[in-house]
Amino acid sequence: MSTKQGISIVTTTWNERENIGELIRRIRQTLKDTPHEIIVIDDNSKDGTLEIAKPLADLAIGKAREGQTKGLLFGAKKVKFPTIVTIDSDLENSPELIPALVEKLSVYDVVVASRKQLPRFSEKWAAKTLGKIVGVSDFYSNFRAYKREAIVNFDLEGGETFGGELLILAKKRGFRVGEVKYDAPPRRMRPRIGGSVRANWRISVASLKCWLMHYL
C-alpha cells in the first residue's frame, strides 16, 4: 500500500444493523498492517445501527437524516489521516479492494471503484454521460479513495446526488480522477435508495442536478 501515514474509512448508515459489524470486521482485517480509523455516520437509523457501531468503530456519530452525500462529506471533514476511503455499509462494496484503490492515489487524486456491470438503466445512462465528463465508468459508485484535499474543502449545493456532486466538484477544481474496475456482488433485495422505479427516478433527478452543476 502506497500510504504509510494512515487511512480514514468513512461510511454512512441507515438501518444497517445486520451489516455494520461485518463491514467493520472486514475493513479491520484488510487494513490490519496499516494505521487506520473507521468513521460511521448514522442517518438517524431506527434499528439500533448506531448502538452497534459505537463500540466497533473509532468514531460513530448520529445525525439528522440528510442523505448519503452529506453524510459522507460530514464524515470526511472529521478524519485525521490524509487518505480517505468512502464505502457503502450494505456489503455491496468489497473492503478487500481498498488497498488497490489507495495504491492508485499515487497517480490520481480521486479513485472510484467502478462496477463492471451496472444494475439500473439510470446508472448506465449516467455512466455514458456524466461518467465521460469525469473519466469513470461508474459515476454513482461511492466506493472511492480520495486525497484529503480532494473532498474536505467542498460545500454541497445540490442536495442528495448520491455522491455525484463530489465527483463533479473534484473535476471542476482540477483534481485527477481515475478508477479501478471490479465485479460487484449481487445487489440486496431492498436497497437503501428504494425499489426499481423510485431508484431510477431519484438517480435521474440527481443526474440532472449534476449536469447543471457541471455547466454552471
Domain ranges, ordered by start, for the chain? 7-215
DSSP state letter for 47: S
The fold of 7-215 is Spore Coat Polysaccharide Biosynthesis Protein SpsA; Chain A (3.90.550)
CA distance 72 to 207: 18
Most confident residue range from 7-21, 174-188, 193-207: 7-21
The residue assigned the cell 442523505 is: 67
pTM, two decimals, is 0.92
> Which one is predicted more confidently, 5 or 6?
6
CA distance 108 to 121: 28
Query: In this structure, what are the phi and psi dihedrals at residue 162, rounded to the nearest 5 degrees?
Result: 55, 40
Of 144, 199, 201, 200, the residue nearest 171 (C-alpha): 144
Side-chain half-sphere CA neighbours of 122 within 13 A: 20
